[in-house]
Amino acid sequence: MVTITLMGDLETIDGERSLACEPDVPLSVKQLIKQQGRTLRQVTRLLRENKVMVTVNQRVASEDTQVHDGDEVSLVAHDGMGTKGLGPSFY
């Protein structure tokens, strides 16, 4: 089981801050998030815009980091300017 923890202002579409999933094979953080579909739609959008910081097992990671059974993935939104990163992009 992989645990995904959403930090800061991030949450699932249902207002949850944590969810667990059972990936069949090791996959990247990006694939794991996309696999959650509608539940993490906001996170998927922010990830595309490079506005999400990722850690895997409390170590700084990237969207390409491989995730394995038992890992804990934490995600926090940012925009590189000290704000929450949840506003619209203007570029």
| Tens-place pLDDT, residues 22-61 | 988 899 999 999 999 999 998 999 999 989 999 999 999 9
Question: 32 with 26: CB under 8 angstroms?
Answer: no
The whole-angstrom distance between residue 61's C-alpha and the CA centroid of its chain comes to 11
Examine the pLDDT at 84 and tell me if it is beyond 70.
Answer: no
Residue holding tokens 């906001």?
42
Residues 6+ apart with CB under 8 A from 33: 4, 40, 43, 44, 47, 63, 75
Domains of the chain: 2-77 (3.10.20.30)
Helix (H) or strand (E) holding 48: helix 41-48
Residues 6+ apart with CB under 8 A from 74: 4, 5, 6, 7, 54, 55, 56, 58
Quote the mean pLDDT of the chain. 87
